[in-house]
Amino acid sequence: DGPTTSTNGVLLRAAIAGSVEYAVLVGLVAGAQRLSSIVRPPLPPITQMSAYFFIVFFSSVLTMLKPQALMPTTVLNQEWYDKLNKPKWNPPGWLFPIMWLLVSKPTQFAALIVLREAGALSVRQPAVLLYLAHLTLGDLWNQVFFTEQSITIGLGVIYLFYAALIGSAKLFWGISPLAGALLLPTCGWVGVASTLNLAVYRLNRR
C-alpha cells in the first residue's frame, strides 16, 4: 500500500465521502419521483430519465472523488499504479473505457428504464437503494485504491461493491427478469476487476 495515509484516515474519509454521495443519490431519485408526481401536466419521461442518466454515468462527480464516468482508467498517480506488480492476464488499458462506457453504463441505464416502466423506480424499493449503494461503493473504491493508494482497503471495498451489485441484480430480477439480466454484463466485468484487485494485492504484499 501507498505510504501517504493511515488506515484510520482512509476509512474516515471514505465513510464521509460515501455517506454524502449516497444521500445525494437517494435525494436525486426521490426528487425526480416527487417532481414527476406533482407537476401538471406531467413531465415527459425524458426529463425524469435525465436524472437517472446523470446518476449512472456521473455519480462520482457528486463528491469529486474521481472522473470515473468520463475516463475510468484515469488514475491520480499513474506512476504509482504503473510500478505495481500485476498478473500476466492484466487487461489492456484500452479495454476499461470500452467496458465501462459502451457496455456497463448503458446496460445499467437500460435496467433503470425497465424498472421505471414496471413502476418500481422508487427509493421505497430495496432494489433501488441497494443499486445506489453499489454506485457509491464503486466510487469509493476509486478513491481508496487510486487516490489513497490503499490496495488492502481497496480490496475490501471492491468486494463490498461486487456484493452490492450482485444483490442489486437479484432484486432487479425479482421485479423484472429483463432488468436483472441487464446488470449481468456489469456483474461479469466487476468480477474481473475484483479478481484483478486480489491479484494485485497478493503480488504487492510486503
pLDDT digits (tens, 9 = 90+) for 10-46: 898 889 989 999 999 999 888 888 877 787 776 677 7
pLDDT at residue 66, as a whole number: 43
Tell me 146's DSSP state: I
Q: Cα angle vertex 110, ends 134, 36, to 5°?
A: 90
Q: How confident is the model at residue 70 (pLDDT cuts 50, 70, 90)?
A: very low
CA dist., res. 173 & res. 179, Å (int):
6
pLDDT digits (tens, 9 = 90+) for 125-157: 999 999 999 999 999 998 899 888 899 999 999
Residue given cell 487516490 in the structure block? 147
pLDDT at residue 75, as a whole number: 47
